[in-house]
Amino acid sequence: MSTTMPSFKKTLNAKPVELRYEASPVEGED
């Protein structure tokens, strides 16, 4: 869901989950 990625990323701006997606090789593949 690369389309919703920027959207949810802003939601998890201050969440530890953001770091998981940042370092995740499946970035935007969720």
Query: Residue 20: what pLDDT?
Result: 62
Predicted pLDDT at 5:
61
- What is the Cα–Cα distance from 28 to 3, expressed in whole angstroms? 8
Q: Which two tokens stand for residue 9?
A: 């990323």
- pTM confidence score: 0.15
CA-based R_g, the chain, Å = 8
**Are the C-beta atoms of residues 5 and 28 closer than 8 Å to each other?**
yes
Q: Is the dihedral of CA 6, 12, 13, 17 positive or negative?
A: negative
Each residue's pLDDT tens digit, 1-30: 555 566 666 665 556 665 666 655 665 555
- State the distance between the two ends of the chain, measured CA to CA, in whole angstroms: 6
